Structure 1
Amino acid sequence: MSHLPAPHRAPAGREGPPAPGGDGPAWATGLLAALAEAAPGASAVALAVRRGPERTVLAHGSTALRHGAAARPDTRFEIGSLTKTFTALLLAEMVARGEVAYDDPITRFLPRSAAPRSRGSPITLVHLATHTSGLPRLPAGLLRGAARAWFSNPYADYSAADLRRALADTRPRAAPGTRVRYSNFGVGLLGELLAHAAHGPGGDYARLLTERVLAPLGLTHTGCDTGQPQATGYWHGRPRPAWRMPAMPGAGAARSSARDLLVVLDGLIDPATAPPGIPRTLRAALADVTGPRVALPRSGRRIALIWNIRPQPGHDLYHHSGATRGFTAFAGFSPRAHCALTALANTGPALNGAFVQRAYAALWRLTRQLSAASG
């Protein structure tokens, strides 16, 4: 097991964000220890849980292996593909405003020269948000250009111009809407198109996300800025530079904290409990983003806007994970069971996915317990 200092905790509460202090309930500190064991090489692990009315936020360790500050509930971790869930929320908010529509073709926001080759019906915004666009996982040419920085910052030198050129040369691998194929390309493109729709050519995704989602929800430790303090990421014990994705920030450029992520999960479980005074459009988006959009054949599983949905007896379990070269992240929730969990570690993902699997298993057990108690 990883040997880390005692946890810092924000204790349980029924209303508002948890406050700092205390050691945490035994079940939560035990779970934090189990997560630390599944993240060898991490100097910091953070956990936030909603269990019915109870909320607990814990942080364990320090922000760096050498000379790091104590990790706290507000420590920023890179969250990788969990960024996509924020892009989905931004899409739903802009739909609620009437600025865009889910069935808008992406060509509405693209110059003719950047449009991908057609394969039947047009690619729409909702196709991008459900991984049904037919676009490949990565843009053509990115792997070749990223080879030298693959284990540190493979997206850092990939530009918006590179993205547009790759899009123009891309032929979807399946007709839009016919097949689920996970695509960083697609969701990165979605973030750029939303910024274009709101602010015109050259629109800034990070600024738009802050204006429409992060600031209204009070998420002061979430954003794409690489200059803000954050934990140091590690890969096989070696520190990694801050992750940068200038051309596709909507796919994986965000950082967040355990406390901030729990605020979002609370709002997704019950939009009525979101901070008072948030725009009506954002409250509507919190409800809309969880609606199932795509059913996967033979499995019973579905996809909402970005979120994966697994059916469980009496309730649905929503989940997503993320990673960069130096960080691993997980978030999941069950609206019916009133349960949520997010876990963050400052080490890159192991090949066996142990950290994410342990976090998912913990959420699954908590939801079963709550469902049984309420039944």
Structure 2
Amino acid sequence: MNKKVNHHKIVLMIQLCLISMAISAQSEELMDLIKEETQNLPTGTELSIGVLEDGNWTKIGYQLEDNGFVKIKNEDKIFEVGSITKTFTASLITKLVDEGKMKLSDPIQKYLPVQMAQDSFKNNTITIQHLITHTSGLSSGPSSFTLPYLRALIFTPKNPNRNFKAKQYFRYLKKFKLDYVPGRKWEYNNAGYGLLGTFISDIIGMSWEESVRENIFTPLGMRDSYFTIDKHNKDSFIVGITAKGKKSKTWEMKFINPAGAIKSTLNDMIIYTSAQIAASPKKFGFFETTHDPLNFQIKMPEDKLWKGNAMGLGWWHNLEDPQNTFIWHAGSSGGYTAFVGFSKSKGKAVVILSNISSSNPSARAENRIPIPILLGQKILRN
């Protein structure tokens, strides 16, 4: 009897050793890939990386110094996540749709506080879905509005959207005449998400920021995610590196906060990403709705970054390899680049937060794709 027990123990120990060796080999392979892809980033660049595989998250934090890669513990440090914020805004819209408070086919005129000069063209109008999918054809930002653009250019060049306000965009819409069929062309549009934020606020009865906190941050337990940096969280905030290698300023965006204002940690973004894969359908079914690829009909431009991608209901769908597709979004602000991607069929996910501008020459790979984004895609494909 004892011999049988000892035999089983030995077999179990061997199995555990083999599993441990396999995990160790995977970790080494992952770290080798990370080092290879990020070795040319400038000194001072900090990355906080999470990888979900086989049901477990691996967390890696490091900083590039003159003497190479220095491992650090930074999963609770705060980075700007940029346009990944848009997936939170899209989630709130789909929540309102699921609750019957809004339709994706609703004309945006229904929710605007001003009347557009001409809101239809050949029986077509701009809808909520057009805003979510960047196919509205509307003007995208303050550069289209002389006064706020000049103010930003002169007074806050490191914070270009600070003086861009909703009332200025509504003034533009009041004169706007629709003379094309919306939905035919994908063109990235931050202001469209600013509009979605105002609609969310009006329907829910609280600010967009409060809506995100009450409906996403708090229920998920994202305790270290913010919209502003102040005396309460500044000690945990990682300073960004601009395109010119300088220290970045925190972006304040007012009207277009819903397009890119969220600051978060690796731990919190892991919670958010995990919820995309396995959240309760009853409580967070609206996340699933944002994964709708819309039949992959909205093709994104065939340049280096977007090649082989289709726009869904808030997320992007990478279709370059039909056997290895994934859902993703990236974010970039004055001194930060972030990536979130996942494959529900493989149970794999990647979160990358970094404090380097995607416009920094050293942050771009040979194909001009920002290195943190390219790294995230390569990890998902491996």
TM score, norm. by length of structure 1: 0.79
AA partner of residue 186 (structure 2): V
Question: Residue 71 and residue 237 in structure 1: after superposition, are their counterparts in 2 closer, same or farther (change >3 A)?
Answer: farther
Q: What displacement does 1:38 show? A: 4.7
Matched, 1:234 2:235: no
1:321-346 CA distance string (max 9 Å, x none): 11111111112111112111121111
Query: 2:317 matched to which residue of 1?
Result: 309
Matched, 1:247 2:264: no
Question: Residue 238 and residue 126 in structure 1: after superposition, are their counterparts in 2 closer, same or farther (change >3 A)?
Answer: same
In structure 1, which of residues 23, 27, 30 is the aligned counterpart of residue 29 of structure 2?
Answer: 27
Within 1, Cα distance between the matches of 2:53 and 2:330?
20
AA partner of residue 217 (structure 1): L
Q: Is 336-345 or 133-142 further displaced after alignment?
A: 133-142
* Partner secondary structure for residue 105 of structure 2: coil
Paired residues, what number? 329
Query: 2:57 matched to which residue of 1?
Result: 55
In structure 1, which of residues 183, 192, 203 is the aligned counterpart of residue 198 of structure 2?
Answer: 192
1:86-141 CA distance string (max 9 Å, x none): 1111111222222222122222222234x364242222111111011111222531
Q: What displacement does 1:216 show? A: 0.8
In structure 2, which of residues 210, 221, 226 is the aligned counterpart of residue 223 of structure 1?
Answer: 226
Q: What displacement does 1:245 show? A: 0.6
Give the % identical residues: 25
AA partner of residue 241 (structure 2): Y
Matched, 1:325 2:331: no
Question: Residue 245 and residue 360 in structure 1: after superposition, are their counterparts in 2 closer, same or farther (change >3 A)?
Answer: closer
Question: Residue 360 and residue 179 in structure 1: after superposition, are their counterparts in 2 closer, same or farther (change >3 A)?
Answer: same
- Answer whether contact 1:133 1:172 (CA < 8 A) is retained: no
In structure 2, which of residues 331, 342, 364 is the aligned counterpart of residue 354 of structure 1?
Answer: 364
Within 1, Cα distance between the matches of 2:153 and 2:111?
31
Within 1, Cα distance between the matches of 2:141 and 2:179?
12
AA partner of residue 112 (structure 2): L
Q: Is 240-249 or 116-125 further displaced after alignment?
A: 116-125
1:114-172 CA distance string (max 9 Å, x none): x3642422221111110111112225314333212564101112222223223323445
Query: 2:137 matched to which residue of 1?
Result: 134
Within 2, Cα distance between the matches of 1:217 and 1:319?
20
Which stretches in structure 1 are left out of the alignment for 5+ residues? 1-23, 63-69, 273-278, 370-375
Q: Is 253-262 or 342-351 further displaced after alignment?
A: 342-351
* Partner secondary structure for residue 322 of structure 1: strand
AA partner of residue 199 (structure 2): L
Within 2, Cα distance between the matches of 1:149 and 1:30?
44
1:188-217 CA distance string (max 9 Å, x none): 211121111111xxx411111101111111
Query: 2:163 matched to which residue of 1?
Result: 157
Query: 1:268 matched to which residue of 2?
Result: 276
* Partner secondary structure for residue 145 of structure 1: helix
AA partner of residue 125 (structure 1): I
In structure 2, which of residues 344, 350, 372 is the aligned counterpart of residue 341 of structure 1?
Answer: 350
Within 2, Cα distance between the matches of 1:225 and 1:184?
18
- Answer whether contact 1:106 1:125 (CA < 8 A) is retained: yes
* Partner secondary structure for residue 339 of structure 2: strand
Within 1, Cα distance between the matches of 2:379 and 2:269?
18
Structure number, greater radius of gyration: 2
Query: 1:72 matched to which residue of 2?
Result: 74
- Answer whether contact 2:50 2:270 (CA < 8 A) is retained: yes
Q: CA RMSD in A?
A: 2.7
- Answer whether contact 1:35 1:45 (CA < 8 A) is retained: no
* Partner secondary structure for residue 349 of structure 2: strand
- Answer whether contact 2:114 2:173 (CA < 8 A) is retained: no
Which stretches in structure 2 are left out of the alignment for 5+ residues? 1-25, 65-71
* Partner secondary structure for residue 93 of structure 1: helix
Question: Residue 348 and residue 150 in structure 1: after superposition, are their counterparts in 2 closer, same or farther (change >3 A)?
Answer: farther
Q: Is 141-150 or 210-219 further displaced after alignment?
A: 141-150
* Partner secondary structure for residue 98 of structure 2: helix
- Answer whether contact 2:339 2:376 (CA < 8 A) is retained: no
TM score, norm. by length of structure 2: 0.77
* Partner secondary structure for residue 201 of structure 2: helix
Within 2, Cα distance between the matches of 1:323 and 1:213?
22
Q: Is 27-36 or 50-59 further displaced after alignment?
A: 27-36
Question: Residue 138 and residue 254 in structure 1: after superposition, are their counterparts in 2 closer, same or farther (change >3 A)?
Answer: same
Within 2, Cα distance between the matches of 1:211 and 1:290?
21
Q: Larger helix proportion, structure 1 or 2?
A: 2
- Answer whether contact 1:74 1:258 (CA < 8 A) is retained: yes
Q: What displacement does 1:359 show? A: 3.9
